[in-house]
Amino acid sequence: MVDSKTVLVPLAPGFEEIEAVTIIDVLRRAGLEVTTAGLNDTAVEGAHNIRIECDTLLSELDSNWDAIVLPGGLPGSNHLRDDDKLKSLLADQAKAGRIVAAICAAPIALEAAGVLKGRRATSYPGFGEQMPSANYVEDTVCIDGNITTSRGPGTALRFALSLVAQLASEETAGELSKGMLANS
């Protein structure tokens, strides 16, 4: 598979568990180095009371990532949107042309970081109005340059596989999809 590509997955209280675990799992299956980071604590409880122990705290990290990927959920997405450290990391990441990705309600954090201006983006239904600078679409997975967005829990696997294709290869994404019976 692939090595040396690094991915940051920040987790905030109230994150969507299906999205977070799918992203982390699929990217690690592809051989990517995934680091989970809690905003305020390393033990973070999701929207459906599933607790995940993160690798570290966001405050302890720098901005040297191949991708930053945000799971959605509420109120998790609001916490991501309102975190100044994360907004700075996202802005730096996008400015450097590295991958910034978000699913479900989490694209509102990309909007807050100023990275969606004039870019095509999607989100969970009803969050488009919170992304006024984006060219809103309803694609399952929307890739516009280094910005990738997706709709919600039911699209998490396709979203994660699209990130594998971007960070590793189409071949790796295809192998994973086949091995996980994603197209069955």
Amino acid, res. 25: D
Residue 142 designated active-site: no
Handedness of CA 77, 81, 82, 83 (dihedral sign): positive
Using DSSP, state whether 169 is helix, strand or coil. Answer: coil
Query: Looking at 7, 12, 103, 104, which residue is catalytic?
Result: 104
Q: Which residues sit opposite 99 in a β-bridge?
A: 67
The token pair at 31 is: 């051989």
Number of neighbouring beta carbons within 10 Å of residue 138:
10
Handedness of CA 80, 86, 87, 92 (dihedral sign): negative
- The most distant pair of C-alpha atoms in the chain lies apart, rounded to whole Å, by 42
- Round to whole Å and give the CA distance between 77 and 98: 21
Query: Which positions are annotated as active-site residues?
Result: 104
